[in-house]
Structure 1
Amino acid sequence: MKRMIWTACIMLASVAAWAQESVKPDAFEKGMKQPGVQLLDVRTAKEFSTGHLPDALLADFTKKDEFFHRLESVDKTKPVYIYCLSGGRSTAAAKWMRENGYKEVIELDGGVMAWKQEGKPLSGTEKSGPQMSTALYDKSVASGKWILVDVGAGWCPPCRKMAPVVAQFVKENKVKLVNVDGEHDTHVMQKINAITLPTFLLYKDGKEVWRKEGIVSLEEFKAAMK
């Protein structure tokens, strides 16, 4: 009898743990606002541009190389709240993440569709207005002795991870920073052949002297000026 009770308790605990892996919009919204939570959107960039949850990072699950690369900048020790359009992709992505060391992964049950059905707002609708022109870019990179170009986007996990490093480098070395929006400034992206986010370019006296894609250490930035 005791063994049966113990087995039942284990089963109930397992069900409870499973239930917490996928939550309704109200619980998801409450949970994602906790300190330290990382919010991950696994839809495509086109879907993301039609509206996303506030402060979400983007890692397209349909592009496996991009997905795994961007996950390298997501902290495994902190909670990850994950969603897609209706729940299918986020469930598959969450399963992989749990199996690969991510401590706590919580799914939005029903995805963005359920979120909107509950009347909850989305942010970041597709940008309007002019892009940075290539002429303005040329003028910007020629406007100082040392110029660092940061090609990135707010929804890009490694871009966000690099933000404090870039800020420290610019401050300590009196370097002018030029930001290129990797989602919007497509003309400039084509001109400088930047196809990965983030991409960093260093200019000296108007000429490109160094570039690197992805994560860059403070020491690497400093060494590039020598």
Structure 2
Amino acid sequence: MKKYISVAIGVLIVSCVFSPKKQTTMNELLPNDWAELQTQTSGSIILDVRTEEEFESGYIAGAKNLDIHGGADFISSIEELDKTKAYFVYCRSGARSGQACQLMEQMGFEQVYNLEGGVLAWEGDLEE
């Protein structure tokens, strides 16, 4: 069952990313730039799209965990977010968060920033 959900989410992500809708370019920022912009952006939200286990092993302060592999729950959670806010997204290495950013942009979010290199490149402290 999990395999089918993962495949369905993969297909959804690919179809959203490659659909002929409005062209978007993902904002991918190095850790220092990402952190500085996040601090300067009023009301911004940090999203950690790793698994719950990864999140519990250490996360950036203030982050909300939305597991990109959560299937329909992930999509539902994204749909509930305020599209007028700025979102700073990260994962372990930047790949999953890049997919999440592209998906969010396709869904109409305009201020989405991916942490290049993910938490592996993060030089700040992690909460546990």
TM-score normalised according to structure 1 size: 0.44
SS of 2:119's partner is helix
Q: Provide the rounded CA distance (Å) in 2 between the counterparts of 1:57 and 1:72.
A: 15
Q: Is 1:51 equivalent to 2:58 in the alignment?
A: yes
- Unaligned runs of 5+ residues in structure 1 are 1-16, 126-226
Among candidates 70, 85, 98, match of residue 91 of structure 1: 98
* 1:29 and 2:3 correspond: no
Contact kept in structure 2, 1:43 and 1:61, CA below 8 Å: yes
Q: Determine which structure has more spread, i.e. the larger CA radius of gyration.
A: 1
- Rounded to whole Å, the distance in 2 between the matches of 1:67 and 1:100 is 13
Answer 1 or 2: which has greater strand percent: 1
User: 1: CA distance between counterparts of 2:57 and 2:100?
Assistant: 21
How far 1:45 moved relative to its partner? Answer: 0.3
Native 8 Å contact 2:78 2:104 kept in 1 = no
TM-score between both structures, scaled by the size of structure 2: 0.76
Deviations, residues 20-71 of structure 1 (Å, cap 9, x unaligned): 7000000111122221111111000000001101111111001122211222
SS across alignment from 1:22: strand
Q: Which runs of 4+ in 1 moved over 2 A?
A: none
Tell me the distance in 1 between the aligned counterparts of 2:64 and 2:81: 9
* Counterpart residue type for residue 39 of structure 1: I
Q: Report the number of matched residues.
A: 104
Unpaired runs of 5+ residues, structure 2, are 1-23
Root mean square deviation of aligned Cα: 1.5
Q: Is the 8 A contact 1:87 1:109 kept in 2?
A: yes
8 A Cα contact 1:87 1:110, kept in partner: yes
